[in-house]
Amino acid sequence: MKRQREDTHENANDFEALAVDTIDIIFSFLDVVELFCLRYTSILFRDVSSSHLSKKKEMIFSQLVGRVKSQDDATKYVDYDDNPVPYLIPKNKQNYIVNSILETIERSRRDRTSSCALERIECNNLMQLERIHLSEYICRNLKVVDFTNCKSLMAGSLSLLEHSDSKIEELYLDGCKRISAEEIARLTKFLNRLRVLHLGGCSQSLNDATVEAICKNLPHLESIDLMGLNKIADRSVQIIFSHLTNLKYLNIDYCERIRLGYLSQHFILMEALFETGTAEEIVDRIRTGDNDTSLGFLQNDEIVVCKGLQVANLSFGSSLRGGCPAYSLAYLSLSTFGQLKEVNVSSSSKIVDDDIKILLLTCRDALVSLEMRCCDNLTDESLSYIGKYGRKLTILDISACFKISNQGIENVSKCTTLTSLKVSSNSLITDIGVISLGNLKNLLVLDLKNCVNITSYAIGIVIHNCKHLVELDVRNTGFKASEFSNIEMKQRINFFNGKRCCKAIRSKCSFQETSMRHAAKDGIRTRRMYHCTQCNLLPKYGRGICLSCVEKCHSNHEGIFLGSITYFYCDCALLLESGSTCLCIKETNE
């Protein structure tokens, strides 16, 4: 890096001849791995990289795991953008690199009154990270702390976050199995500005007492994730609904002890309410504000749920049948005044048609995702409301709803906004119902697995009419590859009869490359996951987009930022908030 200065015989470092602003621009293109390596190449590089690290507002340490072996040449390595890199970062170096960088920031501190610029630390998927150097100086302006899937992070690592001036608003501890319930409860006493707390798959020592402490310490929480915590029971749900009045996102999927008995206390009241009129009449009375004594219980502060709730993940998994009691979803819809955007009540065998009717009637202007796999009591009657009132519905899962027939599928085909439809394991569906799905021109994902009474004829018509189709699952159906002669259509679909068919036509959008929605399990590589504030595709809702969609679909949107380097699928194409077609998918299939 030496060159001769003009009109002299002296040599100088290139970087010494550059303006400070220019150096900052050059170093702004480097990730934490490259900055770390530069520190050890020369004194000049060490000073420049250290200075740049101290000015960063965010540290994305998941870049440490974003390097993999090339698919074309196993002796070479590439990063998350397919750029060649000279080496991999050994997993056992994660502790050293992360803490060395944070200590560098600490040493750059000018005086005791100076503030650290760092606002966000992200360590997604650093499974070997055991401890992290979080000094009071580093934590001073932190707003987002993400330790998702840091399985080795030891108890006590977060103790330095416990100070009265904490500005942290989002804390992600999903998969941090070593962090104890006591530490989390103690930590929440100091994080009074916290709005997002994700504990899914965290320590199994978390119980109802922990949830109660969290809710009392953080009454302003807007998002809480308790997925897979087996000691959480119905008492926790009651505490959440009664304390967190600002709650917008709730995830209690796969919590084995939860039976939502708290909501079942409304069964008699809701049953009596349905005796006073039809679903349409009940909703009209609520919308017009009629002073009706039969509706008074919806305003009872002792039993009302979070009125601002937008996302409710209440799935119990295929092995835990029971789930939401009858009329509980109807009550939830009425008491939230139609604000629900995403609902998952899979394996709720007690949910009835009236629940779905009320949900669609009250949330017709908000609902974009409805998953009700294995809801045994649902019939074609409830699906007729989806066709009528699913104005914004883009994701629908009615797999293993065994009473659904061709009539129900024809009703669903009237919901033309759908981009993802899963109807697997419904034996009553035949070619007549499947052919009607050709009306869904925006369809990207179609799951017909185990629908044994459909044939290649109906599947061919759907593929011909659904020009944007990316994923088609027809395993264990009447489909026969020999009867399907249109090779171009066959190659256009990434997932075909259980196998990927053509690597050459992978879309630039990561949605198409990971269309089966099981990226980590299928060996899909880590990639950059971005977020769009304007479209509400944010980490707290578990939503993200790929780089191609950032450049083509969201380039003029406000609040675009890099989340992490991780396994994910792009949500842009599913139109959860964007309201327009994904340009990457459209370009690929035209």
Closest CA to 241 of 282, 210, 212: 212
Please report where in the chains the tokens 């039809």 appear, as a residue. 278
Contact by Cβ (8 Å): 350, 288: no
Q: What is the mean pLDDT of the segment spanning 207-217?
A: 95
Torsion (CA) 285, 289, 293, 297 in degrees, nearest 10? 100
pLDDT band at 12 (very low <50, low <70, confident <90, very high): very low
Task: Note the pLDDT of residue 78.
Answer: 63
Give the mean pLDDT of 376-393: 91
Q: What's the whole-number mean pLDDT along residues 17-38?
A: 61
Find, among 192, 190, 157, 189, the residue nearest to 173 by Cα. 157
Supply the pLDDT for residue 43: 62
Q: What is the mean pLDDT of residues 307-330?
A: 76
Residue 517 pLDDT more than 80?
no
Q: Is the pLDDT of residue 411 over 80?
A: yes
In the chain, the percentage of residues whose pLDDT exceeds 70 is: 69
Tell which residue, 100, 97, 134, has the closest CA to residue 116: 134
pLDDT at position 502 is: 33
Backbone torsions φ then ψ of 529, nearest 5 degrees? -110, 120
Report whether pLDDT(21) > 70: no
Average pLDDT (265-277) is 65
For residue 212, what pLDDT band results from cuts at 50, 70 and 90?
Answer: very high
Q: How far is Cα 236 from Cα 132, in angstroms, rounded to an integer? A: 31
What is the structure's pLDDT at 575? Answer: 60
User: SS3 of 341, please?
Assistant: coil
Report CA-CA distances (Å) from 222 to 346, 464, 573: 23, 44, 26
What is the spatial distance between Cα 454 and Cα 144, in angstroms, rounded to a whole number? 49
Q: What pLDDT was estimated at residue 60?
A: 86
Per-residue model confidence (pLDDT) at position 551: 87
- For range 536-543, the mean pLDDT: 86
Mean pLDDT of the residues in the chain: 77
Question: Distance (Å, rounded) from C-alpha 408 to C-alpha 403?
Answer: 9
Pairwise pLDDT comparison (244 vs 72), residue with the higher score? 244
Number of CB atoms found within 10 A of residue 134's CB: 19
Mean pLDDT in residue range 161-176 = 87
129 or 409, which is more confident?
409
Output 376 or 31, whichever has higher pLDDT.
Answer: 376
pLDDT at 220 over 60: yes
Sorting pLDDT into bands at 50, 70 and 90, what band is 486? low
The highest-confidence range among 15-29, 245-259, 463-477, 488-502, by mean pLDDT, is 245-259
Percent of the chain with pLDDT over 90: 26
Higher pLDDT, 493 or 213: 213
Contacts of 342 (CB under 8 A, 6+ apart): 310, 311, 312, 313, 367, 368, 369, 370, 541, 576
The backbone torsions φ and ψ at residue 437, rounded to the nearest 5 degrees and listed phi first, read: -70, -10
Per-residue pLDDT averaged across 308-328, rounded? 76
pLDDT, tens digit, 9 for 90 and up, residues 93-152: 788 888 888 888 888 776 666 778 889 999 888 888 888 888 888 888 899 999 998 989
Q: Which of 311-320, 477-486, 503-512 has the highest mean pLDDT?
A: 311-320
Does the pLDDT value for residue 404 go beyond 50?
yes
Report residue 353 as tokens. Answer: 């048609």
Yes or no: say if 529 and 546 are a contact pair by the CB < 8 Å rule.
Answer: yes
Tokens of 164: 């009265």
- Indicate the pTM of the whole model: 0.83
Max avg pLDDT among 1-5, 256-260, 450-454, 463-467:
450-454
Tokens of 516: 């089966």
Where do the domains of the chain lie, and which CATH numbers do they carry? Answer: 57-251 (3.80.10.10), 259-378 (no CATH), 508-590 (no CATH)
Query: Is 72's pLDDT higher than 90?
Result: no
Please determine, for residue 254, whether its predicted confidence score (pLDDT) is greater than 90.
no
- The string of DSSP letters for 192-238 reads TT--EEE-TT--TT--HHHHHHHHHH-TT--EEE-TT-TT--HHHHH
Looking at residue 520, what is its pLDDT?
39
pLDDT value, residue 348: 86
Per the model's pLDDT, the better-predicted residue between 522 and 547 turns out to be 547
